[in-house]
Amino acid sequence: MHFSTLCGLDDKERENAIQACLKKIDEWEVDQVRFSWCDIHGTTRTKTLMLDFAKQALRSGVGMVSTLLLKDSSDRTAFKVFEPGGTQGLHGFGQGNNVTLLPDPKSLKRLPWSPKTAWLQCQAWFQDGQAVPMDSRRVLERALNTLNSCGFGLKCGLEIEFHIYKITDQSKQLNPQLASWPGNAPEVQLIHPGYNLLSESWSDLCDEPMAIVQHTAQGLGMPLISLETEFGPSQVEAVFAPSNALEAADNMVLFRSAVRQALARAGYHATFMCRPPFDCIMSSGWHLHQSLVDLKTHANVFQRTTPKEGASPLEAQYSLTEVGEHYLAGLLNNAKDTTLLCTPTINGYGRFQPNALAPESILWGRDNRGAMLRVIGEPMDPASRIENRLGEPAANPYLYMASQIYAGLDGIHKTQKAPLATQSPYGSSSEETGHCQRIPNTFASALEAFEKSELMQQSFGPSFVHYYSTLKHAELKRFESALDPKTFDVQEYFSRI
């Protein structure tokens, strides 16, 4: 019996997908296959199998040490797996046992920067054939199932800011005498000097690395719309067409990993950390565009035909349907509880500054880039949507999107009403600031809000909240004991994400 049979996955559709996968592998004449899995931090891990064994693993899977599910952001195991009770509350873990990665044969891709290498996306299973619930992709799948049971699907568009640098010296990073845990980063220089937004000259200056990003994304079949030079030095942005949430999340995971690898081969260092460790930078955000879709009609649930009778442009139902307003209100009312999943690194909390195209307070606005939630679209616009500007580009997309689903559904179930749209998102109006709350401005306060949240406990489950909080407490403890916060940022984030 194959392991896939034990997992209850064997059916005609999967077998047809396996046969198509095997045919492509032979046609491409690859000599190895990467079995890739996304960890809780949104980082891809992989096992590379030679061709004959890779073909067998389509049904049998490949073993992976379970502690990869229990590591904090520095790769330290945050649970005492070799002590009795060290993984209490986490069924199936302990003693460094194995889990099995089982690939999705329909996910097969050939890597543009390594054409002899094929790639498969995997999910983790316990050895008894039970799904590993902490696998973050499954977390989103469960949230989507909850959303689907209400008759809705989620459509997401990705707008991702990040930084690309030219590597000038890797001696510190690769010198064994200077090795550390986490490791050092390379020495770098800018690819453009910044502070000239959408400058054609700067775009031309960084044409080489941008072309690598383009060819990598398109070679992997991603719906890339545009690449732009952003405001900050060496900062760029990639924008993707909307797709269903699971596909968008998968694309985000692969995009980050792929461009880092492809650029590194050409002598560039890409980072998706929010605030690179230099004196003069602009923070990067990940703006998540989202709308609900009616599963029966495939219509945009947020789209109005006309404004609500008597509504002013500052009222939510001027632009959004009643369901859209409830979803918007849910995102607002649960913003503190979900911040940790949208901005999961300590580094990301330096971004919430006024007048920097980043949010500071829990507000919404009509096409207002200073507000946390930006409502886009007039009545009759089929692309009507809500853009959440709270996230950072290092976020695990499965957790980020799941948090939006649960927060939005909470608003729908409770028929919550949204306040008036802000006209002064950075607090110039005392009337507005008296009625809004600030986004948690520290990692510790966001972690506390997440742990204490009834909605997070009910939606993600107490076991997951305990699990994720344990990992994040370990990260916070190391930061608080660090001798130099900047060195922590370099080693923890700049060299790794």
**C-alpha–C-alpha distance, residues 335 and 435, integer Å:** 15
Which is it for the CA torsion 122, 124, 130, 131, positive or negative? negative
Which residue ranges make up each domain of the chain?
Answer: 3-132, 144-494
The domains spanning 3-132 and 144-494 adopt the same CATH topology = no
Q: What is the pTM of this model?
A: 0.96
User: Which pairing describes strands 44-50 and 32-38: parallel, antiparallel, or unpaired?
Assistant: antiparallel
Alpha helices in 150-206 (DSSP H): 171-174, 200-205
From first to last of the 497 residues of the chain, give the pLDDT tens digit: 889 999 999 899 999 999 999 999 999 999 999 999 999 999 999 999 999 999 999 999 999 999 999 999 999 999 999 998 888 888 889 888 999 999 999 999 999 999 999 999 999 999 999 999 999 999 999 999 999 999 999 999 999 999 999 999 998 899 999 888 898 999 999 999 999 999 999 999 999 999 999 999 999 999 999 999 999 999 999 999 999 999 999 999 999 999 999 999 999 999 999 999 999 999 999 999 999 999 999 999 999 999 988 889 999 999 999 999 999 999 999 999 999 999 999 999 999 988 878 899 999 999 999 999 999 988 878 999 999 999 999 999 999 999 999 999 999 999 999 999 999 999 765 455 556 799 999 999 999 999 999 999 999 999 999 999 999 999 999 999 988 989 999 999 999 99
Contact at 8 Å (CB) between 312 and 389? no
Interatomic CA distance for residues 403 and 288, integer angstroms: 12
CB proximity list for 243: less than 8 A, separation 6 or greater = 155, 156, 157, 223, 251
What sign does the CA torsion over 50, 55, 60, 61 have? positive
- Angle between the N-to-C axes of helices 207-219 and 245-265, in degrees from 0 to 180, rounded to the nearest 10: 140
Q: Return d(Cα 260, Cα 268) in angstroms, integer.
A: 8
Helix or strand (DSSP H, E) at 84: none
Answer CATH for 3-132 from 3.10.20.70, 3.90.1150.10, 3.40.1280.30, 1.10.10.60: 3.10.20.70
- Which of the listed CATH numbers 3.30.590.10, 3.40.50.300, 3.40.50.2300, 3.40.190.120 matches domain 144-494? 3.30.590.10
